[in-house]
Structure 1
């Protein structure tokens, strides 16, 4: 479901129970649209995520680790100035809308008590996190500035007067006095239509919430409708966090309905961590790696066009032998050729003396015309050798860029600096100044291969980019460890740290090799495996490129449950 008003109501209740009276001990902004406030409450630290991401806007306690950027943003500095050490006095919701307020008390430079407020607005591309002076209702800063030319009704700039988002012409279900839902149940027997009308009528209802309530009301006797409606709303204070399946897609809710349940969770925040982790991480990789993606995509398309041109030129050299034959026939019958002729037809002794028409230049002698054909032949023959070599180099370049493309797709945000370093080393990105580059290099080296444990307890390592792959295979792995890789496609190097792994361990390692490759979504994926001693890296080869011999091949289709169990053992997460 979307993070709708009902879910916001449930989240406010959960956060108040945990954070009310807590103190802000740390503030960071790991991503452009996301802030984390670490709240110390009840002798525990709670990382509170405030996200204004257009696709994944939300508020929750998160336990996903984030890297704090070296240089804080202006918004981070403003939050630290006003909220560092502040106490949360209340967390509340604007009616049943997707707007949540955090009230704080703090002291200014003079020691005077001040009241502050954070407004978290969860509204798609209009989502925002706004710091307010609660007394004057002035905007101190916002994670997204909204100038007057962008929104005449509501300017969100430092110093502007704060206005609440425009109110919808809908009924707040928690304060409603009328029983319109009874009329709607009488009027609409169709479940989808009833759900749509509930969404239109009541504030804070997403389509999923409307469907769950529609199912509840339709299955309830008419006299019991008020109790059913009240019980539905009561679930926002006693939620049942569920990830469910709807139309072959996963969704989340605070109440069980008639949809198939995927998993239950202890808290709303824990559920959101699981639901959003991969999706939000992919989004962050796309944002932070946009420069890398652009560089790789541009060079990949350039080389693909280059390959087509080279293959076209190679196809044109197929007539090289025809020039040689014409030159030899002209030399053989040179006495029959008269200077000034535009063409001549002579017997072709390569094809049973079948007559062959040969074009001539009037300005050249018969001997010069023959030499002209030999020169064309030699030029095309040399071109064949040159083009074959260039085509091989271009294919290698395309394969390498595809491996980088796959590495970015599989990367987490912490792995992007290492990929950037590799592109700089290979000349695709401009090197920064030496001092900055040394700092970036040290940061990139901290990124380590992912580690898993098979059902037999055997350690399995997976390189997540080319530099990791080289280091893992050529330096870290022992010679009698087992190396795996998807066949003929870009992917991760996988090392089983055992010289004689069980069939189950080898199969699980093959699952990982398929999952961390370009064939992730494919079925019946071919995986080569071989002892590490059989792996060799040619001189001058690109990062991640190796050759091997004596391999065996497994064919696997990673099962969803099997992969989930393996991924949960990742010690890097």
Structure 2
């Protein structure tokens, strides 16, 4: 089963991850050797990039609960990278190294061997690393210049002459030469030779020029193959995940994905889920195993005590059953020992066995020290003490049976207690398994086109959209405003551009709500104002043409001509779940607009609670109303700045 990404995998994933260039670093988390970077991409919203040292890098929807106390490395990464934008993502040569240029710093993901994650400054000097190490040719420690491992040939860019010279000089199997010298790994070396129709065990230096040319062509074919990400299954178990379709896996079951990130996330995410399940109950499972081992020993002891009771009871009964015989035997043997002494007695018994004496033959052992003989009686060995009566000999076995019975009762009691403890542990395991995993999968629904902006549905059913920043403000006006719409703007610097779609058909209520939305989604909210002014106008009056001698930056527009003003608009909104095209969406808009589309909503206004904490509070209230809302979706729709709840309508 695949455990880490290859250089080929990294080539393909880096091509995909380039879409993250321009994204803003929101938050950084670390769990053991995994770093997750929460990014915000304009127009898309949240993306989570996972980097697992020595293993993988891709976008993920499997989110592991962050530790309560962030590590010093996490805090340092947050300090240097939070709020900065991802400027460049690249693979170093064809190695398992990815560089992420973020602001003035570079985060280096080493995905080979044990791996590492290293932060360097603009001069390539190490600021910090997940793990400090020293090698023969480089040192990973603060204040040291970061040195890359020695580079190897890149199979994507290698020229024919260099390829021929390199491979022809290798006195090893061709599959090994390709895997090692061209840094492509065993799987892709096998794939290339399979496509080339050349035996993989053939010596590299024994190949003729035509064979080398075929291999060279197949290298270019494989590494320029169209992306067709898929997970490979064997007996319904995933064994590999690859960015292209391979001939090597032709007969295997496959599942295809739109992006390589999705395939990697599905593959490694399931591994993470399984490890989270094991980790969650690991201590309890270990305790259960210990108790089960104790239980087995107790069961062995119980069976042993039962056998002792039965055996000793049977021998005691056997002695009484053969009372007369044993009584006479004890008398005769006692006389013989008294007359001959133990040494000569033993000799006589041995001679008697040879001569076929029946009494001598039933004697199996003589113990002079204990003054006892062991005889065989009805297939059982019975030890008889010559200085004790028949009853006293029988009582010895009955006493042994009693002691074994007492021990049995103790063992059975301990066994019962162990069983009880196992059941308690099993109950705890069951309860733990019912709890939410520390790893959860973000179910990212396909968003509506307007959800990349601020938006709401007016009480009359008109769609109103607004920009979130300079980029989306530019897009709202240039791309999404048409001649049938209406334009709104608040009388405050930095307010969003608001567009009422098909607004020329809208009534007074929609115009009022759109203008109120423009004020509430402006800096007025952040500054804690309770009212503001806004206006609406025709789209033809909105232009990028600046007055003479002036320049309009990104997201800025000029409005010429008559403005239809509305004064003293309340800075107040509501949050609720509304139905739109058979889908339930979280919406933040003017109170009357939200009220028109749902009977459960929360009225909010500027306050003191931080936006992140406020979103959590709203999520709990909505969940109580029967709606499970993603926290990030709530964060996206809320106004800028701190808030407070005015009223909850349930």
> Structure 1 residues 187, 118: CA separation in 2 closer, same or farther (over 3 Å shift)?
closer
Q: What does 1:257-296 correspond to in 2, within 5 Å? A: 257-258=246-247, 259-260=249-250, 261-284=253-276, 291-296=283-288
> Structure 1 residues 143, 340: CA separation in 2 closer, same or farther (over 3 Å shift)?
farther
2:10 to 8, 11, 17: 8
Cα deviation, 1:379-425, whole Å, max 9, x if unaligned, reads: 34444555455556556656776888899999985399xxxxxxxxx
Structure 2 residue 160 is matched with structure 1 residue 178: yes
> Structure 1 residues 355, 85: CA separation in 2 closer, same or farther (over 3 Å shift)?
closer
**Counterpart for residue 45 of structure 1:** 46
Residue 97 of structure 1 deviates from its aligned partner by 0.3
SS at match of 2:35: strand
SS at match of 2:160: coil
SS at match of 2:57: strand
> Structure 1 residues 130, 307: CA separation in 2 closer, same or farther (over 3 Å shift)?
farther
> Structure 1 residues 293, 263: CA separation in 2 closer, same or farther (over 3 Å shift)?
same
**Counterpart for residue 129 of structure 1:** 117
Residue 264 of structure 1 deviates from its aligned partner by 0.8
Distance 2:320 2:439 in 1: 62
> Structure 1 residues 160, 334: CA separation in 2 closer, same or farther (over 3 Å shift)?
same
Residue 101 of structure 1 deviates from its aligned partner by 0.3
2:385 to 361, 367, 373: 361
Structure 2 residue 402 is matched with structure 1 residue 378: yes
**Counterpart for residue 150 of structure 2:** 167
Distance 1:285 1:355 in 2: 57
User: Taking structure 1 as the reference length, what is the TM-score of the superposition?
Assistant: 0.56
Residue 320 of structure 1 deviates from its aligned partner by 3.1
Distance 1:343 1:308 in 2: 44
**Counterpart for residue 234 of structure 1:** 224
Cα deviation, 1:108-156, whole Å, max 9, x if unaligned, reads: xxxxxxx11111011132x111111232x2222222222x4xx343332
Q: What does 1:113-128 correspond to in 2, within 5 Å? A: 115-125=104-114, 127-128=115-116
Structure 2 residue 258 is matched with structure 1 residue 255: no
> Structure 1 residues 124, 409: CA separation in 2 closer, same or farther (over 3 Å shift)?
farther
1:311 to 284, 300, 303: 303
Distance 1:269 1:144 in 2: 26
**Counterpart for residue 642 of structure 2:** none
**Counterpart for residue 142 of structure 1:** 129
- What CA RMSD, in Å, does the superposition of the two structures yield over aligned residues? 4.4
**Counterpart for residue 182 of structure 2:** 202
> Structure 1 residues 286, 32: CA separation in 2 closer, same or farther (over 3 Å shift)?
farther
SS at match of 1:24: strand
**Counterpart for residue 568 of structure 1:** none
Residue 194 of structure 1 deviates from its aligned partner by 4.5
> Structure 1 residues 59, 79: CA separation in 2 closer, same or farther (over 3 Å shift)?
same
Residue 23 of structure 1 deviates from its aligned partner by 0.6
Residue 39 of structure 1 deviates from its aligned partner by 1.0
Residue 370 of structure 1 deviates from its aligned partner by 4.2
**Counterpart for residue 154 of structure 1:** 138
Residue 62 of structure 1 deviates from its aligned partner by 0.1
SS at match of 1:37: strand
Cα deviation, 1:38-78, whole Å, max 9, x if unaligned, reads: 111133210000111x5xx1100001132112111111111
**Higher mean C-alpha deviation, range 218-227 or range 239-248:** 218-227
> Structure 1 residues 131, 298: CA separation in 2 closer, same or farther (over 3 Å shift)?
farther
Structure 2 residue 300 is matched with structure 1 residue 320: no
**Counterpart for residue 447 of structure 1:** none
SS at match of 2:98: strand
> Structure 1 residues 412, 174: CA separation in 2 closer, same or farther (over 3 Å shift)?
farther
> Structure 1 residues 285, 154: CA separation in 2 closer, same or farther (over 3 Å shift)?
farther
**Counterpart for residue 72 of structure 1:** 70
Q: Is the 8 A contact 1:239 1:255 kept in 2?
A: yes
Distance 2:146 2:168 in 1: 42
Cα deviation, 1:262-318, whole Å, max 9, x if unaligned, reads: 111011110011111222333455567654454444444344334334433433333
> Structure 1 residues 230, 412: CA separation in 2 closer, same or farther (over 3 Å shift)?
farther
SS at match of 1:119: strand
SS at match of 2:63: coil
User: Taking structure 2 as the reference length, what is the TM-score of the superposition?
Assistant: 0.50
Aligned length: 384
**Counterpart for residue 28 of structure 1:** 29
> Structure 1 residues 395, 241: CA separation in 2 closer, same or farther (over 3 Å shift)?
same
Residue 341 of structure 1 deviates from its aligned partner by 6.6
SS at match of 1:167: coil
Q: Is the 8 A contact 2:276 2:438 kept in 1?
A: no
Distance 2:219 2:378 in 1: 95
Where in structure 2 are there 5+ consecutive unaligned residues? 199-209, 337-358, 360-376, 441-629, 631-650
Q: What does 1:312-351 correspond to in 2, within 5 Å? A: 312-326=304-318, 328-329=320-321
**Higher mean C-alpha deviation, range 173-182 or range 257-266:** 173-182
Residue 375 of structure 1 deviates from its aligned partner by 2.5
Distance 1:285 1:343 in 2: 76
Q: Which of structures 1 and 2 has the bigger CA Rg?
A: 2
Distance 1:355 1:321 in 2: 15
Q: Is the 8 A contact 2:299 2:415 kept in 1?
A: yes
